[in-house]
Amino acid sequence: MGALRLSPVAVMFKHVAATVIVLATGFCTMFFSSDHPIEYIRRWQDDYTRFRRDLHAHPELGFEEHRTAQRISERLTALGIEHHTGIGKTGMVAVIRGREASPHSMGLRADMDALPMQEESSRPHASTVPGRMHGCGHDGHATMLLACAHYLQETRRFAGTAYLIFQPAEEGRGGGKAMLADGLFERFPVERIFALHNWPGLPVGKVAVHSGPVMAACDYVTIDIEGCGGHGAHPHLTVDPVLVAGHIITAVQSIVSRNISPFDHAVVSLCGMQAGNMDAKNVVPRTARLVGTVRTFHAETQEWIEARLRELVVSVASGFGAKATLRYDRIDPATINDAQQARFAARVAAQLLGEENVVHDLEPSMGAEDFSYMLQKKPGAYLRLGQGGSGERHGLFLHNSRYDFNDEVIPYGAGLLAGLVEAGLPLVSGIRDQKI
């Protein structure tokens, strides 16, 4: 049997047609079905920048994020994404199912709350609420998780379920704990969980992740000293609580320098003192109060510092004939990344950003993070995302009154979160581009 013979003109036509088809297919693949979540999301840069700046202009404190949650909910509804509100008061969970069924799941979490501080900025999107400011970039975190939801819903290039957790009240008000108490993981059973925080000083396009401690445990201390008040000109008839406070302040500095291993890390900071009346320059007050914070990475260190504080406070005061009590409140546990999940996140980041943009040894922060409560329940990791390091605006550290989240970062954070879902819940068929 001979092969079908074509005329020279027909052969030429066939080649030209094939070339056109190949070029057209290539163009469509590049343009319409970008495999790269960061590039895909970058097309929405302007829209999500506007959304972020609107949140920035309307900051709300923990458990008061009604407008913020409402704005996010409106967007999720418009995108046709199932979501559940009122979890941990103002918290919310969006549920997105991949195009293939699977029992596996992953959680992504972002915080939404602002700080009780005054913004010092003349930017058009500066806070419109006196004494309230998005000084930590949680407006950006919520926006990135929303953009990630948009991408996952539109592409659904994964198998199983992604739970996107919009958490309230991260700034010391217990939002993470409140969501867990509200049955977060019973209602939305994530197998593993990830979160990220923008990080000033780390260049845009870079991400830092490592296993082990990444953020410290945060405890608060309140020391009440009771002496005996009297006339400033007759101090021998008083027990001066201001003098006792001074000795306690000095004595507690010996804890880190003399009781903690030089190979461990800890901070004891007394940050506030209240005693007497500034108008009463000749009155020795009866009481004094000191407040401060303790930061640690290990439970044994935390226990030891609390014990040493208690001994020092009581004994220094009694040495002066005063009484002192210590109130020790544990606010957030240390944020500890699971080794396997940190390696997984680093691998995904390297695929999306290039290995040269993954920082494996950024030193842990003595700041605290209530994502730690979620990491105590589920394996996962907390990533730090480059917010930029040059120029005053983006180089300013978190909680600075002139800080502002860098909108350029939105596609990186949203794409990275989406990449974790696609890599962690891979399609069994391996066919990523159908239905796009």
Query: Catalytic residue positions?
Result: 113, 170
Rounded CA separation 7/22 (Å): 23
H or E element at residue 416: helix 410-424
Residue span binding Ni ion (CB under 5 A) among the ranges 134-142, 281-289, 294-302, 412-420: 134-142
For residue 283, which amino acid is it? V
Rounded CA separation 315/305 (Å): 15
Rounded CA separation 94/73 (Å): 9
Q: Tell me the per-residue interface mask from 92 to 131 with Ni ion, x by CB under 5 A, - otherwise.
A: ----------------------------------------
Our CB check for Ni ion shows the closer of 306 and 369 to be 369
Rounded CA separation 271/320 (Å): 23
Q: Is 195 in the site for Ni ion (CB under 5 A)?
A: no
Residue choice 87, 110, 136, 417 for contact with Ni ion (CB under 5 A): 136
Residue whose C-alpha is closest to residue 199's, from 391, 407, 383: 383
Smallest gap from residue 363 Cβ to Ni ion (A): 17
Rounded CA separation 249/380 (Å): 38
Residue nearest to Ni ion (CB): 136
Smallest gap from residue 134 Cβ to Ni ion (A): 10
Our CB check for Ni ion shows the closer of 95 and 267 to be 267
Q: Is 316 in the site for Ni ion (CB under 5 A)?
A: no
Supply φ then ψ for residue 37, to 5 degrees.
-60, -35
Residue span binding Ni ion (CB under 5 A) among the ranges 136-144, 199-207, 239-247, 266-274: 136-144
Rounded CA separation 268/81 (Å): 45
Smallest gap from residue 124 Cβ to Ni ion (A): 23
Smallest gap from residue 367 Cβ to Ni ion (A): 8
Residue span binding Ni ion (CB under 5 A) among the ranges 132-140, 216-224, 338-346, 370-378: 132-140
Which strand ranges, in their side-by-side order, compose the sheet holding 380-386? 82-87, 91-97, 159-167, 100-111, 193-199, 380-386, 207-208, 358-359
How many residues touch Ni ion under the rule CB under 5 A: the total is 1
Smallest gap from residue 47 Cβ to Ni ion (A): 24
Residue span binding Ni ion (CB under 5 A) among the ranges 14-22, 100-108, 114-122, 133-141: 133-141
Q: Check if the beta carbon of residue 183 is closer than 8 Å to that of residue 334.
A: no
Our CB check for Ni ion shows the closer of 98 and 380 to be 380
Using CB atoms within 10 Å of the CB of residue 243, give its burial: 0 to 12 exposed, 13 to 18 middle, 19+ buried: middle
Our CB check for Ni ion shows the closer of 136 and 217 to be 136
User: Which stretches of the chain bind Ni ion, using CB under 5 A?
Assistant: 136
